[in-house]
Amino acid sequence: MEGATSNSPAVLVKAPIRVAAICGSLRKGSCNRGLIRAAIEISSKSIDGMIIEYTDISSLPFLNTDLEVDGTYPPEVEAFRDKIRRADGILFASPEYNYSVSGPLKNAIDWGSRPPNVWADKAAALVSAAGGSGGNRQQYHIRQIGVFLDLHFINKPEFFLRRPLAPPQKCDRDGNLIDEEIREKLKEVLLSLYAFTLRLQGKSK
């Protein structure tokens, strides 16, 4: 065949890693949802080989095993589980509710854990925007849950966005991240998740 020889080197096309981004707040103006929008923008512009897709959990019913019929789940749950199954990594962005995980996020985690567990052996990262704590307590609770789920979280850098009551604000009233220093810290988290995902898959950076 013209242009090809037996000595031609093989060309390997590296597929991008896909990250499912999940927000633990259902509020449209949530700063945590803004963190996901910023992460999508950052990855598309400056992290070659990483695609982040927002994964909506607002339509998921409350977990009820009565809804499971012959090993199948409601359509919304099946669609959610399929998105997690196809993802290489997970990005959680969530507020802190009563020192712990938000109800919507815990519900989504529980649906994904139903057999077969779609979270297993995936890399994951945590970011959060909350009041005085920045959401650190709920992050540690998610890490505990992740032990059972066989999720593998990056350890550094940690990302806790403490939202001040007085200016300067880190997010605008629509939840968009407007602080450039925070954007750089978010990028560091994404780069760490990217590198760790490749390591878990046995691929070089």
Confidence of residue 166 (pLDDT cuts 50, 70, 90): low
- Into how many domains does the chain fold? 1
How does pLDDT run across 32-49, given as a tens digit for each residue?
Answer: 999 999 999 999 999 999
- Domain with 194, as residue range(s), is 17-200
Determine, yes or no, domain membership for 183. Answer: yes
What does the DSSP assignment read for 146-203? HHHHT-EE--SS--EEE--SSSSPSB-TT--B--HHHHHHHHHHHHHHHHHHHHHTT-
Distance CA 105, CA 9 (A): 47
Q: Is the pLDDT of residue 9 over 50?
A: no
The neighbour count for residue 59, using CB atoms within 10 Å, is: 11
Determine, yes or no, domain membership for 6. Answer: no
Q: What CATH number is attached to the domain comprising 50? A: 3.40.50.360
Confidence of residue 7 (pLDDT cuts 50, 70, 90): low
Determine, yes or no, domain membership for 157. Answer: yes
Determine, yes or no, domain membership for 108. Answer: yes
- Top pLDDT among 46 and 204 is at 46
Rounded mean pLDDT of 58-78? 96
Determine, yes or no, domain membership for 97. Answer: yes
Locate 129 and state its tokens: 């925007």
Determine, yes or no, domain membership for 4. Answer: no
Determine, yes or no, domain membership for 104. Answer: yes
How does pLDDT run across 92-144, given as a tens digit for each residue?
Answer: 999 999 999 999 999 999 999 999 999 999 999 999 999 878 999 999 999 99
Rounded to the nearest integer, the mean pLDDT of the chain is: 91
